[in-house]
Amino acid sequence: MRHLFVWLFAIAFALGANAQKKELIEDKETILARASEVLDASLRPGSEVYEAIVKENLIGRYVLQVSFRDKGDISSVFVVSAEGHDIRSQNRFKDLIHLSRMPFKMPKGRQYRIEHTFDLNTLPR
């Protein structure tokens, strides 16, 4: 029984060691371009953000300033401008973006900021 436990632990450790790591990107322009792609992808059908937008009937066109850190955590979301919206939609959409993550890593201790336009009114529903 003891040997079985040791083998199970070893297998679990080996599988955990093979878990896919996030890609490290060091070039600022590449980081900002990839962040823009990720934010665009968040509005495509099948994404969690898209599903929440449709389910909760969120509306509006927003320009958001999104700041993110070295491990992909989004640290802040600021609404630069908003049109054709209501406050409930604005606040909920801002929260959805804030809870997202970038699927890549950046140089340690660095923070990046991007302005991105999201038009929820043109999404297929």
Q: Which residues have C-beta within 8 Å of that of residue 9, sequence separation ≥ 6?
A: none
Cβ–Cβ contacts within 10 Å for residue 54, how many? 14
Q: What is the pLDDT of residue 21?
A: 82
pLDDT, one tens digit per residue, over 5-35 is 444 344 444 444 445 688 999 999 999 999 9
pLDDT, one tens digit per residue, over 62-118 is 999 999 999 999 999 999 999 999 999 999 999 999 999 999 999 999 999 999 999
Burial of 45 (0-12, 13-18, 19+ CB in 10 A): exposed
> Would you say the pTM of this structure is higher than 0.85?
no
Q: In this structure, what token pair is assigned to residue 87?
A: 């406050």
Please report where in the chains the tokens 């099948």 appear, as a residue.
46
Cβ atoms of 43 and 97 closer than 8 Å: no
